[in-house]
Structure 1
Amino acid sequence: MARIFILWLHGLGDSGPANEPIQTQFKSPELKNTMWLFPSAPFNPVTCNNGAVMRSWFDVPELPFKVGSLIDESSVVEAVKSVHAIIDQEIAEGTNPENVFICGLSQGGALTLASVLLYPKTLGGGAVLSGWVPFSSSIISQFPQEAKKTPILWSHGTEDTMVLYEAGRAAIPFLKEAGVTCEFKSYPGLGHSISNKELKYIESWIKRRLKSSSPTCLQLNCLKEMFQSS
């Protein structure tokens, strides 16, 4: 069975270990060979919280986040480097890039989107939960062609008061302009949190995108070469 890698990025002020129970919601046999990683963001001063130091992937100028809110692109791009290093290592260990999935909530969702769109290879997918677009459209020209083939799943609660639903919806025209496939899922009545319904859908979404085990194909090719050379 092919190795699967899921990288989960937490929200502002949270931590990786606090999110580890999420993996217990993914019970499908197809995902039993999954390697999960829940890293913690470094401690940084955060502008929207009056410079208070907390776990933060990048600086956030203002919250609640709404359409037109200020963003700090340079801070985001710097954070992306750490995520890319994790992905590079996983691929170097033999995981098919298309079996690599990045998921993130809120600030982690924004970092998920940025990391996927700036990665030089096509990944299995990026799942953004209650996140936002941390870029202006001027950066679209920097997205690698292979990155644009990575599908995005966007989940957002209609009652989110921290990252407004309209700010989440703003991802649709942005990704359309970039040429990226995005499935947007609305969750009526959900605030700035994760629901079991969201997690179940993410699980099924990942399952649909899994690539079959590459060693089997390699074995078949080796057998073919053996017969041809005999």
Structure 2
Amino acid sequence: MERSAAVSSLSWALVVGGAAYLLRQTRRCGQYGRYAEPSGRCWPAGPAWFLQEVPAFLVPLLLLGSAEPSSATGRSLLVWTFMLHYFYRSFVFSLLTRGRPVPLKIVCSSVIFCSLNGFLQGHHLLHCAHLQLTWLTNARLSAGVLVFAVGLSINIHSDHILRRLRKPGELVYRIPRGGMFELVSGANFFGEIIEWCGFALAAWSFPAFAFAFFTMCSIGPRAFHHHRDYKRRFEDYPRSRKAIIPFIL
């Protein structure tokens, strides 16, 4: 299969898969975390998050090692931007998380997804994309990386707030307060969506757009389920908060 055909096929798979996942979550949220089934094999949260996220860091890293020296400019910057999120998820978040055990089927499916998506983004940027650095491209690249950085900061800060709600070993739920949680119930999800929208703006490619679209379809509905669950659990839950988009939705 030609490079362009492989990239196109994987990108369309993300778009179609995202739409299908969105439709599925209108009926039932993804079964991990607070929505996990009580039965079934599970892995501790830390090792599970490491194993399922690290392929999206390692695969592009291997591709970087085989890339031509001329790739070590704008395209390599975008690859490192992509990898930065997964470095955090694999080597920082996985060590700090106090989340519930993750079902084995979720871990396996995430390993496959992160491996394929890591290959798609890295391969396209390093081997297929033609990045002509004009003033317009530089402005879009800079704006996209800035938006990504803002989203990553929101995501990391929101994870920090959620961790502080629990003592080690606790599985209780409390109302998160502070940061973007003052505006939306899914502040961590909001931050991650902003990240990948920024990445798509910077990369300006179909694979990056497809991943941003898949992210919105997969964790956007989860924010709505969390919002509904918070309101069900807590009578004093702030009524001014939205689910995922501040002041709107």
Alignment TM-score, normalising by the size of structure 1: 0.25
Structure having the larger proportion of residues in helix: 2
Alignment TM-score, normalising by the size of structure 2: 0.24
Higher RCO, 1 vs 2 (CA within 8 Å, ≥6 residues apart): 2
